[in-house]
């Protein structure tokens, strides 16, 4: 009667209690029917309330119908029945209905899913870090590129002497000029080159006092102007187009490497999640959900029903997860929602490295063109030493940028080969 009251409800318990004892005693049949009815109504409040309520109603009926004799004849039998059925009833009390199991499982899945979305949203640092690396490149390129795209004084000087040689060799007075060392354009090449480099116009006045002897000065000056304009245009075009294909290919490769790293860290490790699911069930969470994410550094989420929090925080559970995942876990964080709990933890770093950098001052307080940077990323450890390009402030700016650029591209998940190739051959 008590079993039916717990499993099937009060009305069926009343029927079972009545008909199962009807052949023994009419008084007992009604008493046990009332006991089943009372227990069925009180089981939702708890096992103790159900047993006590059934006993009270049964005793009251026995005392009403048979006085003390009726009470003494029914209550001991009920007490024995209650003691014998107590282990079974207790098991039934802790047993969840199918809809309750589904509800717990759905709640755990929702909690883990929500936290997983948050985790995946954070795993875009590869592209974010790569963007920071390239954005820091802009001011350096602007600083170093102020003179790029323009011919130098030496190039203009060579251009002036080359243009003069073309006309001088075909001139009828070349032998006379050669014998008297009369070379106005060669002697004035430095002056002409500096004016051209400064963007100023050149004229006959720039050739010195001995120009009157020259028969080709007008043609040579015009030739220099045209050649200088062509050289400036060619340099500008080269600056705009040089290395464009290499840049596109390398930047595309770096973006793909950073994206692949982000996707690897976002992806769920299905074999490990399945193995951890069995471990989680064995440690008191048969309806719980546990998931593992990431490739380089594991991220684990677990959720289940734990009324007092003793199961989710048990050292045995943590040890089992560490053994199954072959990872040392960081200190977990716990969240509660009613009777549901969620655990969140990362794989702890496997190593600890201490860095020390010694800087030596240069003589005369000159700016050092060398830089050093030490950092770690997902259990990989780096020490970068960079010798700057040029001297002084330029060397310092390029070496500082190089170390920071390599650190950020490594943190973004880009390979060292790609980063170094871009740094050495393009940037």
Could you count the other beta carbons within 10 Å of the beta carbon of residue 77?
A: 17
Verify that 359 and 342 share a domain, yes or no.
no
* Helix (H), strand (E) counts: the chain: 17, 6
Residue 251: inside a domain = no
- C-alpha distances (whole Å) from 219 to each of 26, 58, 155, 204 are 139, 131, 20, 11
Residue 403: inside a domain = yes
Which of 32, 21, 17, 115 is closest to 78 using CA atoms?
Answer: 32
Verify that 6 and 91 share a domain, yes or no.
yes
DSSP string, 353-376: --------PPGGGPPP-EEEEEEE
- Label residue 69 by pLDDT band (50, 70, 90): low
pLDDT, position 240: 52
Which of 86, 39, 41 is closest to 58 using CA atoms?
Answer: 39
The pLDDT tens digits of the residues spanning 160-210 come to 888 888 888 788 777 777 777 777 777 788 888 888 888 888 887 777 655
Q: Looking at the predicted structure, is the pLDDT value of residue 343 above 60?
A: yes
Q: Could you tell me which residues are beta bridge partners of residue 386?
A: 371
Burial 189-209 (b: 16+ CB within 10 A, else e): beebbebbbeeeebeeebbee
**This prediction's pTM:** 0.48
pLDDT, position 231: 85
> Which SS3 state, helix, strand or coil, does residue 79 take?
helix
Q: Pick the residue with more confidence: 26 or 271? A: 271
Q: Pick the residue with more confidence: 173 or 70? A: 173
Domain count for the chain, please give it.
4
Which of 404, 417, 415 is closest to 374 using CA atoms?
Answer: 404
Which of 312, 346, 380 terminates a domain? The answer is 346
Q: What is the DSSP letter of 97?
A: P
Mean pLDDT value across the chain: 76
pLDDT, position 89: 67
DSSP string, 122-184: HTTHHHHHHHHHHHTHHHHHHHHTSSTTS--HHHHHHHHHHHHHHHHTTSTTHHHHHHTT--H
Q: Looking at the predicted structure, is the pLDDT value of residue 96 above 60?
A: no
pLDDT, position 334: 87
Verify that 75 and 118 share a domain, yes or no.
no
- Indicate the Cα dihedral angle 148, 154, 158, 160, nearest 10°: 90
Q: Looking at the predicted structure, is the pLDDT value of residue 37 above 70?
A: yes
Q: Pick the residue with more confidence: 16 or 97? A: 16
Helices 217-241 and 153-168 cross at an angle (nearest 10°) of: 140
- Label residue 100 by pLDDT band (50, 70, 90): low
Verify that 74 and 113 share a domain, yes or no.
no
Q: How far apart are the first and last CA of the chain?
A: 86
pLDDT, position 386: 87
The pLDDT tens digits of the residues spanning 237-290 come to 666 545 555 666 677 777 777 777 777 777 888 899 899 999 988 888 888 888
Query: Is 269:326 a contact under the CB 8 Å cutoff?
Result: no
Q: Which domain holds residue 225?
A: 153-241
pLDDT, position 22: 62
Residue 130: inside a domain = no
Verify that 91 and 10 share a domain, yes or no.
yes
Which of 311, 329, 346 terminates a domain? The answer is 346
Q: Distance between alpha carbon 336 and the CA centroid of its chain, in Å?
A: 25
Residue 40: inside a domain = yes
Which of 74, 95, 116 terminates a domain? The answer is 95
Could you count the other beta carbons within 10 Å of the beta carbon of residue 150?
A: 15
pLDDT, position 99: 58
Which of 345, 346, 373 is closest to 359 using CA atoms?
Answer: 373
Mean predicted confidence (pLDDT) in 406-411: 83
Verify that 394 and 319 share a domain, yes or no.
no
Q: What does the radius of gyration of the chain's CA atoms come to, in whole angstroms?
A: 45
pLDDT, position 247: 67
Q: What is the DSSP letter of 31?
A: H
- Label residue 365 by pLDDT band (50, 70, 90): low
pLDDT, position 208: 65
Which of 191, 188, 196, 189 is closest to 151 using CA atoms?
Answer: 196
pLDDT, position 401: 86
227 by Cβ neighbours in 10 Å (0-12 / 13-18 / 19+) ranks as middle
pLDDT, position 232: 83
Q: Looking at the predicted structure, is the pLDDT value of residue 146 above 60?
A: no
- Indicate the Cα dihedral angle 129, 132, 134, 139, nearest 10°: -160
- C-alpha distances (whole Å) from 255 to each of 129, 378, 409 are 11, 19, 10
Residue 137: inside a domain = no
Residue 117: inside a domain = yes
Verify that 175 and 209 share a domain, yes or no.
yes
Q: Looking at the predicted structure, is the pLDDT value of residue 121 above 70?
A: no
Verify that 356 and 409 share a domain, yes or no.
yes
Mean predicted confidence (pLDDT) in 62-90: 69
Verify that 105 and 178 share a domain, yes or no.
no
- Label residue 150 by pLDDT band (50, 70, 90): confident
Q: Looking at the predicted structure, is the pLDDT value of residue 227 above 60?
A: yes
Mean predicted confidence (pLDDT) in 94-118: 65
- C-alpha distances (whole Å) from 54 to each of 5, 10, 21, 37, 49 are 10, 11, 16, 8, 8
Query: Is 354:382 a contact under the CB 8 Å cutoff?
Result: no
Percent of the chain with pLDDT over 70: 71
- Token code pair at residue 374: 């030490």
Verify that 206 and 167 share a domain, yes or no.
yes
Mean predicted confidence (pLDDT) in 214-238: 80
Q: Angle CA(127)–CA(130)–CA(132) in degrees, nearest 5?
A: 115
Question: β-strands 299-305, 340-346: how paired?
Answer: antiparallel
The pLDDT tens digits of the residues spanning 289-326 come to 888 888 877 888 888 888 888 888 899 998 999 998 88
Verify that 335 and 409 share a domain, yes or no.
no
pLDDT, position 62: 66
Residue 139: inside a domain = no
- Token code pair at residue 100: 């309750």
Q: Pick the residue with more confidence: 294 or 76? A: 294
pLDDT, position 167: 80
Percent of the chain with pLDDT over 90: 1
Mean predicted confidence (pLDDT) in 366-381: 79
Residue 6: inside a domain = yes
- Token code pair at residue 351: 């190593």
Q: What is the spatial distance between Cα 108 and Cα 302, in angstroms, rounded to a whole number?
A: 8
Verify that 182 and 224 share a domain, yes or no.
yes
């Amino acid at each position: 009667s008590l079993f039916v009251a717990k499993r099937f409800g009060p009305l069926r318990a009343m029927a079972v209690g009545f008909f199962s004892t009807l052949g023994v005693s009419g008084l007992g049949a009604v008493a046990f029917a009332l006991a089943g009815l009372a227990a069925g109504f009180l089981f939702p409040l708890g096992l103790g309330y159900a047993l006590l309520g059934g006993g009270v109603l049964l005793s009251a009926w026995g005392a009403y119908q048979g006085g003390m004799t009726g009470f003494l004849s029914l209550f001991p039998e009920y007490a024995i029945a209650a003691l014998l059925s107590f282990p079974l009833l207790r098991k039934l009390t802790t047993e969840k209905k199918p809809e309750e199991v589904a509800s717990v499982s759905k709640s755990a899945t929702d909690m883990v899913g929500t936290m997983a979305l948050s985790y995946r949203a954070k795993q875009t640092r590869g592209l974010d870090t790569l963007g920071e690396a390239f954005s820091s490149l802009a001011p350096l390129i602007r600083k170093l590129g102020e003179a790029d795209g323009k011919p130098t004084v030496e190039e203009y000087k060579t251009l002036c002497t080359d243009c003069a040689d073309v006309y001088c060799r075909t001139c009828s007075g070349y032998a006379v000029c050669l014998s008297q060392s009369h070379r106005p354009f060669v002697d004035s090449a430095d002056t002409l080159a500096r004016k051209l480099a400064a963007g100023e116009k050149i004229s006959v006045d720039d050739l010195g006092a001995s120009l009157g002897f020259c028969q080709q000065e007008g043609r040579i000056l015009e030739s220099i102007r045209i050649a200088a304009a062509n050289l400036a245009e060619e340099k500008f075009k080269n600056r705009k187009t040089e290395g464009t294909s290499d840049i596109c290919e390398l930047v595309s490769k770096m973006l793909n490497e950073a994206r692949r790293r982000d996707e690897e860290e976002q992806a769920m490790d299905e074999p490990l999640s399945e193995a951890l699911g069995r471990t989680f069930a064995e440690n008191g969470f048969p309806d719980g959900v546990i998931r593992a994410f990431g490739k380089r550094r594991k991220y684990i989420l677990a959720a289940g029903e734990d009324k007092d929090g003793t199961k989710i925080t048990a050292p045995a559970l943590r040890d089992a997860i560490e053994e199954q995942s072959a990872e040392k876990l960081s200190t977990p964080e716990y969240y509660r929602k009613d009777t549901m709990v969620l655990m969140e933890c990362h794989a702890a770093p496997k190593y600890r490295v201490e860095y020390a950098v010694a800087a030596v001052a240069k003589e005369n307080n000159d700016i050092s063109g060398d830089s050093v940077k030490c950092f770690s990323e997902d259990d990989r450890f780096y020490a970068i030493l960079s010798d700057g390009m040029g001297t002084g402030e330029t060397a310092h700016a390029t070496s500082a940028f190089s170390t920071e650029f390599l650190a950020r591209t490594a943190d973004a998940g880009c390979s060292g080969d790609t980063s170094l190739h871009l740094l050495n051959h393009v940037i």
